[in-house]
Amino acid sequence: MKVLKIIFYAVIMVIIFYTFLWIFADWLEGDDTPMVMQEYVISEKETLWQIASEYKPKEMSYEQYLYELRQVNEDISTIYPGQKINILKEVQEWV
């Protein structure tokens, strides 16, 4: 009888563990904020980090936004004033 009790509690703990894991994984995905691509002209002394701080969604990290910028632009390892790049901008919904 004691063994059945241990197995029962073990199964309950596994169910609880996987439930929390599923909830946490869903939370890690974040919300799917709609984004649009827009052409952007680099200003004098501007950095990608500054662009990210202005246009990234609140839920997205700087690193993730910079990664996304690198995905939509061919080569932005070095930027210069007047250069045109594509940026991702959060869609503003009007209610």
Write out pLDDT tens, residues 48-92: 999 999 999 888 889 989 998 998 898 888 899 999 999 988 877
Rounded distance, CA 89 to CA 81, Å?
20
Q: Could you tell me the CA-to-CA distances from 16 to 2, 20, 25, 30, 87 in Å, in that order?
A: 21, 6, 14, 22, 42
| DSSP secondary structure, 14-74, as one string | HHHHHHHHHHHHHHHH-----EEEEEEEPPTT--HHHHHHHHS-TTS-HHHHHHHHHHHSS
Cα separation of the two ends of the chain? 61
Write out pLDDT tens, residues 2-57: 888 888 888 888 888 877 777 666 555 555 667 888 999 999 999 999 999 999 98
Q: Residue 82 gets which letter from DSSP?
A: T
Q: Is 0.95 surpassed by the pTM of this model?
A: no
Q: Report pLDDT for 3.
A: 87
Q: Report pLDDT for 40.
A: 95
Note whether 82 and 41 are within 8 A (CB): yes
Total Cβ atoms within 10 A of residue 42: 18
